[in-house]
């Protein structure tokens, strides 16, 4: 990429599936389930919209190069 930094978000968004573990060790630590994985559908959709909206807002603030690749504008900040 010739010194150009990639604009990238790597994420593992929640799936809103309540999961319980059978692990004795996790249960002893009070961690037998994943927190906040059982939101009502409307609340969960709002949560995802807010998170990905912030990603999109950050993306629009990146410096842009004058060239594009495959229809996508790439960031133009150079590595130090």
pTM above 0.75, yes or no: no
Mean pLDDT by 10 residues, the chain (80 residues): 78 83 81 79 93 84 58 48
Q: What is the DSSP string of 24-63?
A: HHHHHTT-SB-TT----HHHHHHHHHHHHHHHHHHHHTS-
What pLDDT, on a 0 to 100 scale, did the predictor assign at position 41?
Answer: 93
What pLDDT, on a 0 to 100 scale, did the predictor assign at position 55?
Answer: 85
Measure CA 68 to chain center. Answer: 24
Contact indicator for 64, 73 with CB cutoff of 8 Å? yes
Across the strands, what pairs with 69? 72
What pLDDT, on a 0 to 100 scale, did the predictor assign at position 66?
Answer: 54
What pLDDT, on a 0 to 100 scale, did the predictor assign at position 42?
Answer: 95
């Amino acid at each position: 990429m010739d010194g150009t930094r990639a604009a990238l978000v790597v994420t593992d968004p929640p799936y809103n599936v309540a999961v319980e573990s059978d692990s004795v060790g996790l249960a002893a630590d009070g961690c037998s389930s994943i927190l906040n994985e059982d939101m009502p559908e409307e609340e969960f959709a709002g949560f995802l919209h807010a998170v990905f909206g912030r990603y999109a807002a950050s993306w629009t603030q990146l410096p842009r190069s004058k060239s594009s690749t495959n229809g996508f504008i790439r960031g133009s900040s150079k590595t130090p």
